[in-house]
C-alpha cells in the first residue's frame, strides 16, 4: 500500500467516524484506568455493566487498594479472567494511593510500572484522559490496519509505529478510535462487510474477500469456514 493511499484511507475513516471516542464509561483518569484493565478479553459493554457497582463500593484508589480480593472478584466475575484482573486492579490502586497520592500519572513510564498496565493500556489512558498523541493497538486495530494495508507489522508495536507515521500528530489519539469503530461495525472478524465500507474502492482486501466469498457460495475451492479464514487473512501475508 502506498503512503498516499494509506493516508487517504485514514482520511475517509475520519470522515466516517468524526465523533469517535472510547466506548468505556468513566469520569476520571482513575475510573478510566480500571475500566481499561478490565476490558482485556471482554467487551466494553460488559465492562460498562460492571464498573458502576465496582466504583459505588470502591470510589477511590485508596478504597479499591484496600479491598479484599474475594469481594472484588465477585463484582467483576462476568468480565472474564476475573482473578487476575482483581489482583491487578487492587494492586494498581494500592500503588496509586501509596506512590502517586491517589492520582493517575500522565507519564508512560510511570503508568507502565503499575500492575496490569502494559503499553496498550497506558496508551489508552494517555490519549483519552490526558490528550496525548498516543496510539493503542488492540485486536480490532491490529486486524483492520492489516486489512487496509497500513502495515505488515507482526507485533502490536510494529503496527503502532507504522500507523503513527501516517497520521498527523494532532490526530494520533483519534486514529485508534477510527480503526476500532471500523472494526466493530464493518471490518469485522471473520468476514468484513465490504459493501458498506467507506474505503472499499481503495482497500486492498476487497478483492481478496470477494474471491473467498464467491468460492464459498459456489461450493468450489475452500469451504465456507476456509473462505472466512481467507477473508480474515492479512493482505500480502501467507497462511
**Active-site residue set:** 120, 138
| Cα dihedral 120→156→183→18 (10° resolution) | 60
User: Measuring CA to CA, which residue among 32, 39, 21 is closest to residue 175?
Assistant: 21
Match 482483581 to its residue by C-alpha cell: 86
Pair 221, 34: CB distance under 8 Å: no
Match 498527523 to its residue by C-alpha cell: 168
Query: What would the grid cell of residue 229 be?
Result: 479464514
Contacts of the segment 106-109: beta carbons below 8 A, 24+ positions apart:
106/29, 106/130, 106/132, 108/134
User: Measuring CA to CA, which residue among 124, 158, 153 is closest to residue 37?
Assistant: 124
Amino acid at each position: 500500500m502506498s503512503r498516499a493511499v494509506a493516508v487517504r484511507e485514514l482520511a475517509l475513516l475520519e470522515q466516517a467516524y468524526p465523533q469517535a471516542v472510547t466506548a468505556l464509561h468513566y469520569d476520571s483518569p482513575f475510573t478510566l484506568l480500571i475500566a481499561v484493565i478490565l476490558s482485556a478479553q471482554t467487551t466494553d459493554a460488559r465492562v460498562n455493566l460492571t464498573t458502576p457497582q465496582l466504583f459505588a463500593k470502591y470510589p477511590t484508589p485508596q478504597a479499591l487498594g484496600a479491598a479484599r480480593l474475594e469481594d472484588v472478584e465477585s463484582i467483576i466475575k462476568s468480565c472474564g479472567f476475573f482473578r487476575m484482573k482483581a489482583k491487578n486492579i487492587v494492586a494498581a490502586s494500592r500503588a496509586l494511593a501509596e506512590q502517586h497520592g491517589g492520582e493517575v500519572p500522565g507519564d508512560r513510564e510511570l503508568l507502565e510500572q503499575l500492575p496490569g498496565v502494559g503499553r496498550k493500556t497506558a496508551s489508552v489512558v494517555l490519549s483519552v484522559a490526558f490528550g496525548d498523541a498516543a496510539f493503542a493497538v488492540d485486536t480490532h486495530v491490529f486486524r483492520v490496519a492489516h486489512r487496509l494495508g497500513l502495515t505488515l507489522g507482526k507485533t502490536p508495536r510494529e503496527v503502532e509505529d507504522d500507523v503513527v507515521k501516517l497520521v498527523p500528530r494532532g490526530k494520533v489519539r483519534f486514529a485508534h478510535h477510527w480503526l476500532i469503530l471500523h472494526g466493530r461495525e464493518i471490518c469485522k472478524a471473520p468476514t468484513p462487510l465490504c459493501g458498506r465500507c467507506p474505503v472499499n474502492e481503495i482497500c486492498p482486501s476487497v478483492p481478496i474477500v470477494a474471491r473467498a466469498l464467491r468460492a464459498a457460495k459456489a461450493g468450489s475451492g475452500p469451504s465456507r469456514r476456509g473462505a472466512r479464514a481467507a477473508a480474515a487473512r492479512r493482505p500480502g501475508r501467507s497462511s
